[in-house]
Amino acid sequence: MDVSPADLLAGVTATAAPLLLASLGETVTEKAGVINLSLDGTILLGAMTGFAVAATSGSLAAGFLAAAAAGTAVAAVLSLIGTWLGQSQVAVGFTLTLLCRDLAYFLGTPHARQPGPQLLASPVPLLSDLPLLGPALFNQSLPVYLSFAAIPATWYFIYRTRPGLILRAVGENPAACWARGIRPRLVQTAATLAGGALVGLAGAGYSLALKPGWGRPQGCEGIGWIALALVIFGGWHPVRVALGAYLFGFLQISTILLQDLFPSLPTQVFQVAPFPIMIFTLILIHAGRNARGRKQRLLLRLFRGRPPAALGRTYRQA
């Protein structure tokens, strides 16, 4: 199969879009010091909800909204038990991952393998005809445009606005924030809910655009774990996290191309290969960064990052 570089790039930006939304959502959540480990299940629940609502109501917008609502609802449970009742966020998040996955399969049975609406590409006139970058940037569906906008928007919000400053402060030192009249738990809850909404949207990005339809498997299983890994190894920086998402998109696309080069290897191997490759790429970069006698090469500098100091710790109000 011959693929032009333009098509390749277009494939990468489209594949990475939902992953980007989810990992940027998680970045916002973790900046406030909360780990939402439920991503993998939440994305599936969002995908199922989005597809089911869009198919029954006939409205794609309703589908996306419902998916965001589902993601927010899961995040609310995490907030309640984790942030407010002080249980381990990892324990709650992991339980929610499995619960949401099974809930999605259970509730989605009537919609499995049913026809439904699908969001088509909405090309930007003129710009989409640009060579090389045209199809990648300007001939995509709305979630992809949203994912483009989300990168600078998240960065701007976190690093250039006052609420973003408060968000980071709470993630670093909730007790000091409390002393300054900020209510850390409220900020953490808001960040968790907002992040959850983006994760839910990511789910709809799969079931209504990238991999239209609902079924078991839907095709987005495992993505949530990649998103979580991206945030941590991307150093909690939206731009680096986005780079990671594009790297994963590139991996997924290139395995499709590599299939032709290695016809002896079974197709199924190519479907699972990007996941371990991605995680170990991130781990290697991370390990290289921690190695003693390090040299600050450009690549390593790019991926340097430090977790919010209070990440995963429950803030217990006096």
Partner 1 sequence: MKAQQSIENQSPGSRLPLLLIPALALTLVCLLLLVLGLSPLTIGRALASGSVGNWLKFSHVLSVWSPLLLCSCGLLFTFRAGLWNIGIEGQVILGAICCTAVLRLPGGLLPPPAVLTLALLAGGAGGGLWGILAGELRNRGGVNEIFGGLGLNFVGQGLVIWLIFGPWKRAGIASMSGTDLLPPHFWLQSPPGWRVAPVALALAVLTLAASILLLDRTRFGLRLRAAGTSPGAARLFGIEPDRISLQAMFLAGLLAGLAGGLQVTAVYHRLIPAISSGYGYLALLVVMLANYRPLAVPLIALFFACLVTGSIQLPISLQIDSSLAGVIQGACVLSALLVYGLRKEKS
Binding site for partner 1 (CB under 8 A): 35, 37, 77, 80-81, 84-88, 90-92, 94-96, 98-103, 105-107, 109, 222, 225, 228-229, 232-233, 265-269, 272-273, 275-276, 279-280, 282-283, 286-287, 290, 307, 311-313
Q: Shortest distance, CB of residue 247 to partner 1, whole angstroms? A: 15
Helices (H), the chain: 5-31, 39-57, 60-78, 89-108, 133-138, 142-160, 162-172, 174-179, 184-205, 223-233, 238-261, 267-272, 274-290, 298-302
Question: Helices 60-78 & 89-108, crossing angle to 10 degrees?
Answer: 150
Q: Shortest distance, CB of residue 25 to partner 1, whole angstroms? A: 18
d(CA 67, CA 20): 16
Nearer to partner 1, 14 or 96 (CB): 96
Q: Shortest distance, CB of residue 85 to partner 1, whole angstroms? A: 3
Nearer to partner 1, 7 or 102 (CB): 102
Nearer to partner 1, 122 or 267 (CB): 267
d(CA 177, CA 191): 15
Q: Shortest distance, CB of residue 45 to partner 1, whole angstroms? A: 11
Nearer to partner 1, 158 or 310 (CB): 310
Q: For residues 5 and 132, is the Cβ–Cβ distance under 8 A? A: yes
Nearer to partner 1, 175 or 283 (CB): 283
